[in-house]
Structure 1
Amino acid sequence: MAKFNSLFQPLEVRRCTIPNRIVMTPMGTNFAENTGEMSFLHIDYYEQRAQGGAGLIIVENACVDYPAGSNGTTQLRLDLDSYIPRMFKLTETIHKHDTKIAVQLNHAGASAVAERINMQPVSASNLPNKKGGATPRPLTVEEINSIVESYAKAAKRAQIAGFDAVEIHCGHSYLISQFLSPLTNNRTDEFGGSYENRARFATMILKAVREAVGPFFPILIRISADEFLPGGNTLEDTLKLLEYFQEEADIIDVSCGLVDSIQYQIDANYLKDGWRTYLATAVKEKFNKPVITVGNIRDPKVANEIIESNQADFIGLGRQFVADPQWPLKVKEGRLDEIRKCISCNIGCSGHRIGLNRPIRCTINPSVNEGEAYKNQKVKKPCNVVVIGGGTAGLEAACTAAEVGCMTFLIEKEDHLGGLSVEISKIPEKKRLRDFPDYLIRRASKLKNLITFTNTEATIPFVEALKPDVIVNATGSTPLLPPIIGLRENIDRPQSSVKGILGMINNIDNYPMDMEGKKVVVVGGGAVGLDVVEFFSNRKAEVSIVEMLPVVGKDLDIVTKVGTYALLEKNHVNILTSTALQEVHPDHFIVKRNDQNEQLDFDYGFVCLGMRSYSPLMKDLTDAFEDKDVEIVNIGDSVRARRIIDGTAEGRNILNTLKTKGYLE
């Protein structure tokens, strides 16, 4: 499309022509073999993104010095020649799609986990690279020289394996970053202190890599342009550091943040599209080199404007490529309404990989590995599917069933589709969440064999009239209201200042922007309660949060958790853990803490104790269809209140139900 023309202009870098300005940035997957070898699952994953139109794919970080430099549960390796053949298979596969491919080379340093590498991690000095992190051992000069050589050898292997470029990771709290940052480098020799000294390790690596790969092979560097931590490198510091080691770099991949500011490194969902482009622009203007900008970029209009206005040369997409491998192709063909925009929830990608050591998954894309191949299946005999509940789980189930040829009926009692996600997205900091139900609704609207009933109560006679072969119950969840004194009498009542999450959302436009001096007490330190805390503490209210467990945010993904804790500290939120709600009154709560009852007065009180499953029709459905050949499945929050990712996966799993019942091959 002409209006996105800037995104699809080629750019030549050292005799390598990158066909467009869209880069898949490196992002760990845990798809590698236990040996560190590229798996065929991995190759399929990257090929999907090449087929989707990426101009350049930068493969996730590969270890150059095993085991000391290893991070992640299953990380790629390039420290031995034996890894070249499978890497060559990858590059050969990607090149079939006119996509260029690079690999990121890395040494974890203090980011390595001692239990995994069976040794004490190494670093620039003995300073941990995160709060509570293990104390590393400072590298000797001899070891530094050996690691420099390891980078050079790994780069040569990458070149032999058919990669078009290599990227040297100099950011994100890994080893080179640990030398660059004053937060992790207190050396007093030639590798510490001044900008030149802290940049010396990076300078040596870049020179060695250039010597290994020759003059015509592109080298990229990834940097944390601003570490966003007190005492860490600012943008101005990084620009000075780059003076010493950018000379051999052809493209600068401009990121930001360290482990303790990971909410900026892996952007929190409240950060707007392209928010950190100013960092890339500053680097571009100073060094007059192509730069990649990143930062929650989902909207093609934002991406195109960045390139068109010369703020950056490439748009880097990481999680967006997990959510929708075909983002570039859909933009190029003008199919913007088909884009599955990443909602930056960080649950299936970062949360799975960093927090749980699982392979990555995606909240909104249940087929990270398989892609759209499921659509090639078609039912071999007529099948009517009735889905009760039009939230995200029900919508995914209905769309999937219709896409493989089922006659599908979706019944929703409200006047709109989208369920709880639509309601939560009304909180300003959560507005990005709305992109997912909107995508599902658009997808559903294009399916002629999917008929939707809104403002409709699902009754047994109505369901029977649709002659179902498969019934999917996806009626969601409702707020949990335990038998606490005064809770039901006061919550969401006109005479009371106490609200639940839905009551808060329904009243959201009535809360003033400046609430300084107002007391807010939120009971419940899970994700929902913390959303309420974020909303009011950002408006300068005096906020207290009450949580029965010893910590708040226990089940949050690692990115959200770090960002939430930073927000709680910044906004001086009063955190009352190991504290239980005893009584609810119109203007105060009685809580029990340290075996003592306390009264918490408030102007606004909120009870957010989580959600519980809501499936009022399941027993009636089971009874009504007991003697009929009808499969009934219960999915999403109506089974148990969980995250969107669980319901989306279960919605797609209707394919398994259809296979079991003989409707699909």
Structure 2
Amino acid sequence: MLEHALRPGTLGDLRLANRIVMGAMHLNLETRDDGGAAMAAFYAERARGGAGLIVTGGCAVGPEGSGGRHYARIDDPARHTALAAWAAAVRREGGRIALQLFHAGRSTTRQATGHTPVAPSALAGGLSREVPRALDEAGVHELVGRFHDGARRARELGFDAVEVMASEGYLLNQFLSPLTNIRDDAWGGDPERRTRFPLAVLDAVRAAVGPGFPVLFRISGTDLMPGSSTPGEIDRFAVELARAGADALNVGVGWHESRVPTVQSLVPPGAWTGEAARIRRAVRAAGLRTPVIASNRINRMDLADRVLASGQADFVSMARPFLADPEIVRKASRPGGAPTNICIACNEACIDRSLGDEPVSCLVNPRAGRELEYPRPTGRQRPRQPRIAVVGGGPAGLEAGRTLAALGHRVELYEAADELGGQFRLARHVPGKEDFGDTVRYFSAELHRLGARVHLNRPLNTADTDLLRGFDGVVLATGVVPRAAGLPGEHLPHVVDYQHALRHPGLLGQRVVVIGGGGIAVDLAHLLARRGHEVCLLRRSGRVGEGMGRSTRWAVLAELRERGVRWRTGVRYRAVLPQGVLLRDAEGTERLEPADTVVISAGQTPVDALRPVLAAVGVTHRVAGGAADARRLNAVRAVEEGMRAAHALAREVAADAGLRRGAAVLPTRQPPPPGRTAGPASSAIG
């Protein structure tokens, strides 16, 4: 029953319903010109879903402190209406919300903010590469004042608490680290003086909001930067914060410029809870009861409960899991009810997008951040539920079927294989991607719960015209098959495609050459390297792993290097021979790359033979995922297209039904509305 996670807790004078905090996430929706409506809807849904406390994404205290163009700013009166709307929306749902006070320091650029970055010292950031302006004495005091004013304004706007960002390599963390603070004055020069700025910020914030109003501090349990603050220095700083009146210490890990993975799927769930446990021990040893919050890579409620039960932390912060399933807490409190959609730590639609300007969402829940565009169904049943077929049970088909069933349609899903999941069934074999299997289980359970009928081992083809004609609408999500490389010798016995290799890695020889260097090829190399194979990736042009997420590619490639995987780019293939692959390398030298097995991972081809059939019989339909367009296909696009196709088809089927009802009282039958069938791939998903 998760008694520890669901037990009420207190921060300052604020009583919380449970011990689960929704951690701060920047969504690139914060500055939309909608009066805060999109963000309010996003937060309100998570409050309804049971989050004990919601922490907003970073809200900058000054213009030069923004992390990018779409960060909220507490110092900008033009944003106050929107910020107040966020707080009001959460409180209407009975939730509690904290505004995170943020300053990027050197972790931003003039291009992003229009202002020269500032920092403790004039040292360029590892990611921004821009030299900041070192703050002088007046500048330091001005920033302390901005945190004071931001906290006061947050309380006035209706927020229940504030969190000060002093982690992840942002400004306050920069003052703490000898890597970024090389001053020799009142604000730097030794560990004690390096803590003065964040402690001054805490004093100012406390003075602004008064006693009892919760002030959380997000601190770094470990910077994961060689030469940065030591564990002892961090522990002493945590104790000083607790003594100075912080109501909770939220423990993060790692700087964004660190080369140690922290939130990628490669990192085992719960890997960083020891940092929170260490800080909690230091605080308790000092005789202080300040709550400590554990965070990073905790993606399941039962794991959160175990962390709390073990005494490693007093609260648990979960961020991306609330993107995957806004009801993760409420579902946990109702065992046997609706299944939980698990965060798979892919980072593709969340962290990777937050590093640019694209709105953040979630691979396994593309409604995230689009709550206004795609409201939750009301649950009211239509007098006659339209009957919809979904052809294909891969990522696009699963989301299309789930969405249509949730909208009240009678859904029948046809899958050619003996199991749902499509390429997710392959991905779950890759190290770190085991949770893809839970995604398949979630969708399978949801389809069952919502009353959809699933037909396995049932491929549909051109002979099924009469069956398809019997539906009110069809979503075609038949996916892709591996594309042939077109090389001499490609059909030799030791040559297989990537699907076969991922399904049957034990049948491959010791030396494996992979023709192709995209994301699937990298995943395969990762799997095989873990199994002890000697792997070489070959690519004609571009970077190995091109198309993979910005926050994941470097980490996976680093592991491949460590495990001895080799790759060659700029090659020209000559032929596949019994001994391996004959090629011309980037220097123009002809060579044989020896192999016991050659794997073709050179792209994909749509499975779309039913498209002309559906158009010919006049069935209203939409096409989603790889069946619509295999170019640059990834799971984020496939799942999102499945959702969009479902909503577009539902609207069109409803319009058709209305037209038919109207025809009963008209002297002649009206022609069908235009666009009943899918057009080109670019418009096929609605």
Would the TM-score normalized by the shorter structure come out above 0.5?
A: yes
Q: Give 1:6-85 correspondences, 5 Å limit.
A: 6-33=4-31, 39-66=36-63, 68-81=64-77, 83-85=79-81
What does residue 252 of structure 2 align with? 255
C-alpha distance in structure 2 between counterparts of 1:38 and 1:335, whole Å: 39
> Could you say if the C-alpha distance between residues 564 and 574 of structure 1 is closer, same or farther in structure 2, counting changes exceeding 3 Å?
same
C-alpha distance in structure 1 between counterparts of 2:383 and 2:302, whole Å: 42
What does residue 459 of structure 2 align with? 457
How many angstroms does 1:111 deviate by? 1.6
> Could you say if the C-alpha distance between residues 195 and 566 of structure 1 is closer, same or farther in structure 2, counting changes exceeding 3 Å?
farther
What does residue 415 of structure 2 align with? 412
Question: Does the alignment pair 1:647 with 2:638?
Answer: yes
How many angstroms does 1:337 deviate by? 5.2
> Could you say if the C-alpha distance between residues 501 and 408 of structure 1 is closer, same or farther in structure 2, counting changes exceeding 3 Å?
same
| Structure 1 spans left out of the alignment, 5+ residues | 513-517
| Structure 2 spans left out of the alignment, 5+ residues | 285-289, 659-686
How many angstroms does 1:462 deviate by? 3.3
SS at match of 2:207: helix
Question: Does the alignment pair 1:612 with 2:596?
Answer: no
What does residue 277 of structure 1 align with? 273
Question: Does the alignment pair 1:4 with 2:22?
Answer: no
How many angstroms does 1:246 deviate by? 4.3
Asked whether the equivalents of residues 379 and 663 of structure 1 are also in contact (C-alpha less than 8 Å), the reply is no
TM-score, normalised via structure 2 length? 0.88
How many angstroms does 1:57 deviate by? 0.6
SS at match of 1:457: coil
Question: Does the alignment pair 1:622 with 2:615?
Answer: yes
Q: Give 1:158-557 correspondences, 5 Å limit.
A: 158-247=154-243, 248-261=245-258, 264-265=261-262, 267-288=263-284, 289-335=290-336, 338-354=339-355, 356-368=356-368, 369-370=370-371, 373-374=376-377, 376=379, 379=382, 381-448=384-451, 450-465=452-467, 467-487=470-490, 489-490=491-492, 493=493, 496=494, 498-509=495-506, 519-538=511-530, 543-557=535-549
Q: Which amino acid aligns with 1:552?
A: V
C-alpha distance in structure 1 between counterparts of 2:411 and 2:32, whole Å: 43
SS at match of 1:348: coil
1:457-510 CA distance string (max 9 Å, x none): 2134435135122122111111122212222x13xx3xx2x4432222222356
> Could you say if the C-alpha distance between residues 404 and 96 of structure 1 is closer, same or farther in structure 2, counting changes exceeding 3 Å?
closer
Alignment partner of 1:638 out of 627, 631, 649: 627
How many angstroms does 1:118 deviate by? 2.4
Range moving further from structure 2, 106-115 or 594-603? 594-603
Q: Which amino acid aligns with 1:525?
A: G
Q: Which amino acid aligns with 1:476?
A: G
> Could you say if the C-alpha distance between residues 464 and 233 of structure 1 is closer, same or farther in structure 2, counting changes exceeding 3 Å?
farther
> Could you say if the C-alpha distance between residues 38 and 257 of structure 1 is closer, same or farther in structure 2, counting changes exceeding 3 Å?
farther
C-alpha distance in structure 2 between counterparts of 1:618 and 1:433, whole Å: 29
C-alpha distance in structure 1 between counterparts of 2:511 and 2:462, whole Å: 48
How many angstroms does 1:443 deviate by? 0.9
SS at match of 2:312: coil
Q: Which amino acid aligns with 2:629?
A: R
How many angstroms does 1:82 deviate by? 5.3
What does residue 553 of structure 2 align with? 561
> Could you say if the C-alpha distance between residues 508 and 236 of structure 1 is closer, same or farther in structure 2, counting changes exceeding 3 Å?
farther
> Could you say if the C-alpha distance between residues 405 and 58 of structure 1 is closer, same or farther in structure 2, counting changes exceeding 3 Å?
closer
What does residue 583 of structure 2 align with? 591
> Could you say if the C-alpha distance between residues 485 and 30 of structure 1 is closer, same or farther in structure 2, counting changes exceeding 3 Å?
same
C-alpha distance in structure 1 between counterparts of 2:139 and 2:68, whole Å: 22
Matched residue count: 643
C-alpha distance in structure 1 between counterparts of 2:352 and 2:378, whole Å: 28
Asked whether the equivalents of residues 307 and 313 of structure 2 are also in contact (C-alpha less than 8 Å), the reply is yes
How many angstroms does 1:243 deviate by? 4.2
Q: Which amino acid aligns with 1:351?
A: D
> Could you say if the C-alpha distance between residues 164 and 479 of structure 1 is closer, same or farther in structure 2, counting changes exceeding 3 Å?
same
SS at match of 2:547: coil
Asked whether the equivalents of residues 528 and 610 of structure 1 are also in contact (C-alpha less than 8 Å), the reply is no
1:75-105 CA distance string (max 9 Å, x none): 1111145544443333233223332211110
How many angstroms does 1:569 deviate by? 4.8
What does residue 109 of structure 1 align with? 105
Q: Which amino acid aligns with 1:10?
A: P
What does residue 87 of structure 2 align with? 91
TM-score, normalised via structure 1 length? 0.90
SS at match of 2:159: coil
Range moving further from structure 2, 430-439 or 332-341? 332-341
C-alpha distance in structure 1 between counterparts of 2:450 and 2:242, whole Å: 52
C-alpha distance in structure 1 between counterparts of 2:552 and 2:270, whole Å: 19
> Could you say if the C-alpha distance between residues 281 and 74 of structure 1 is closer, same or farther in structure 2, counting changes exceeding 3 Å?
same
Range moving further from structure 2, 279-288 or 583-592? 583-592
How many angstroms does 1:113 deviate by? 2.2
C-alpha distance in structure 2 between counterparts of 1:21 and 1:481, whole Å: 52
Asked whether the equivalents of residues 300 and 321 of structure 2 are also in contact (C-alpha less than 8 Å), the reply is no
What does residue 661 of structure 2 align with? none
Q: Which amino acid aligns with 1:390?
A: G
Q: Which amino acid aligns with 2:316?
A: I
CA RMSD in angstroms, aligned pairs only: 2.5
> Could you say if the C-alpha distance between residues 598 and 240 of structure 1 is closer, same or farther in structure 2, counting changes exceeding 3 Å?
farther
C-alpha distance in structure 2 between counterparts of 1:428 and 1:436, whole Å: 16
Asked whether the equivalents of residues 27 and 354 of structure 2 are also in contact (C-alpha less than 8 Å), the reply is yes
What does residue 601 of structure 1 align with? 594
How many angstroms does 1:529 deviate by? 1.3
> Could you say if the C-alpha distance between residues 499 and 617 of structure 1 is closer, same or farther in structure 2, counting changes exceeding 3 Å?
same
> Could you say if the C-alpha distance between residues 163 and 264 of structure 1 is closer, same or farther in structure 2, counting changes exceeding 3 Å?
farther
Q: Which amino acid aligns with 1:210?
A: R
How many angstroms does 1:24 deviate by? 0.6
C-alpha distance in structure 1 between counterparts of 2:657 and 2:159, whole Å: 40
